[in-house]
Every structure is written in C-alpha cells, then in structure tokens.
C-alpha cells in the first residue's frame, strides 16, 4: 500500500477541533453537499481562512485530542480527501473515526503527544500502513499504531462506497 505514504507539510491544530464549524461550515452538512470541488474550498477556513489555498496533496493535519468532535457529518472528511490530506491525531471521536474511513482519508488515530513535537510547516513523511511518522525538519521519528489492514484496504479503495461496490461485485449481488 505504497499510496498510503504521505510526504508534505504538517498543519498543526490543538484539542477539540469541531467537525461542524471548525473543519467545515455546518451549512454543507445541512444541504448534504458531497461534491469534492465545493467542499475543498471550505476546509478549516474557520480557523485559517487561507488554509484551502495553502494546503497541498500529501500534507498532513496534525491535531490534538478529540479531533472532529460533534455530530457525524461526513462533509469535513470529504473535504480532506478532496485536498489529498492525511490526518494524524492524539485522539478522535468514535463517529468521526468511522467517517474518516468512509471518506477514504488515511488516519493515525492515537498518536499521544504528537502535537508537542511538530510545528506547522515542518516537513513530514507518514506511512499510514505501518504507523511510522517522520518529522524531517527535526530529524525525529515515532512509531504509532496503524489501522487494521481491513480498514487500510477500504481507505486504499477510496472509502466506503467504492469498497461496498467491490464487495457487491465479489458477492455477485449487483
């Protein structure tokens, strides 16, 4: 799963980043917007208005505890996927963990203390399949618990919907 290695800059955020509001304006959840080109322009702009323009594919969100807390609206994670971002967090709410998988966003969900040793702009390399987090600016690396292989496969498939289509085809049910 070599496509699960992300190389880019780190974008560091604190604790309790909210799914509705901080990561994505609530209006897109209410209107059930799912178009990547629409959602990508609004990712995290409540915290940094320029973020959608500055972020590049391969960049990694590094955040603290209870990342993406709030009601389970997938739009924020669809936005991350549209921008090609990975997510490395100290902890994440249960329902949002599921949304990340569904949207096909690679994630390391339990990286204690990761925000302490990383600053926005650091060059990082994250292998989401093995859990290896390398901060090349600071020449340090950490090994975190990666996701289960089943979930990595779903992410590599592009998320929940493509995975279900594959499963249905394999079952000969559709």
Partner 1 sequence: MGQTASEKILSRVLRREVRAGEIVFPEPDLITIHDWYAANTADMLATLGVERIRAPEKVVLVTDHEPTAVSRQAAERQKKVRAFAAKFGIERFFDVGRGGHGHIFPVEMGFVQPGMFVKAYDTHVPNFGAVGALGIPLVTEIVEVLACGSVWIKVPETVRIQLTGRVHRGLSIRDVCQRLLVDFDADRLDYAVVEFGGPALANIGIDGRFTLCNTPIENGAKSALVEPDQIVVDYLRPRVEGDLTLTKSDDDAVFRWRGDYDLGVMEPQVAAPPRPDNVVGVSTVRGIKIDHAFVGSCASSLYTDIRDAATILKGRTVSAGVRMFVTPGTQEIWARADQDGLLRILVDAGVVLTAPGCGPCAAGRIGPLAEGEVSINTGTRNDPGRLGPMKADIYLASPLTVAASAVAGEIVDPREFLP
Contacts of 9 (CB under 8 A, 6+ apart): 56, 59, 60, 120, 121, 122, 123, 124
One of 48, 66, 131, 144 touching partner 1 (CB under 8 A): 66
**Residues of span 100-139 touching partner 1 by CB under 8 A:** 101-102
Q: How far apart are the first and last CA of the chain?
A: 27
Nearer to partner 1, 12 or 68 (CB): 68
**Pairing status of strand 60-63 against strand 5-12:** parallel
Dist CA 57 CA 131 (whole Å): 19
Nearer to partner 1, 10 or 155 (CB): 155
Is residue 154 involved in binding partner 1 (CB under 8 A)? yes
One of 51, 91, 131, 158 touching partner 1 (CB under 8 A): 91
Q: Which window, 39-47, 111-119, 129-137, 161-169, contacts partner 1 (CB under 8 A)?
A: 161-169
Dist CA 22 CA 137 (whole Å): 27
CA angle 105, 106, 108 (to 5 degrees): 130
One of 2, 94, 139, 172 touching partner 1 (CB under 8 A): 94
Binding site for partner 1 (CB under 8 A): 65-66, 69, 71-72, 91, 93-94, 97, 101-102, 148, 150-151, 154, 160, 164-165, 167-168, 171, 173-174
């Amino acid at each position: 799963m070599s496509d699960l290695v992300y190389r880019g800059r780190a974008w560091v955020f604190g604790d309790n980043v909210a799914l509705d509001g901080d990561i994505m304006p609530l209006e897109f959840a209410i209107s059930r917007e799912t178009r990547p080109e629409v959602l990508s322009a609004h990712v995290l702009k409540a915290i940094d208005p320029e973020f959608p323009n500055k972020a590049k594919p391969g960049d990694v969100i590094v955040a603290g505890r209870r990342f993406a807390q709030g009601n389970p609206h997938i739009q924020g994670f669809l936005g991350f996927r549209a921008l090609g971002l990975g997510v490395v967090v100290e902890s994440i709410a249960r329902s949002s963990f599921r949304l990340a998988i569904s949207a096909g966003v690679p994630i390391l969900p339990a990286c204690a203390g990761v925000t302490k040793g990383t600053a926005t702009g650091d060059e990082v390399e994250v292998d989401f399949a093995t859990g290896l987090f390398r901060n090349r600016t600071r020449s340090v690396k950490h090994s975190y618990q990666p996701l289960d292989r089943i979930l990595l496969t779903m992410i590599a498939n592009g998320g929940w919907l493509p995975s279900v289509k594959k499963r249905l085809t394999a079952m000969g049910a559709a």
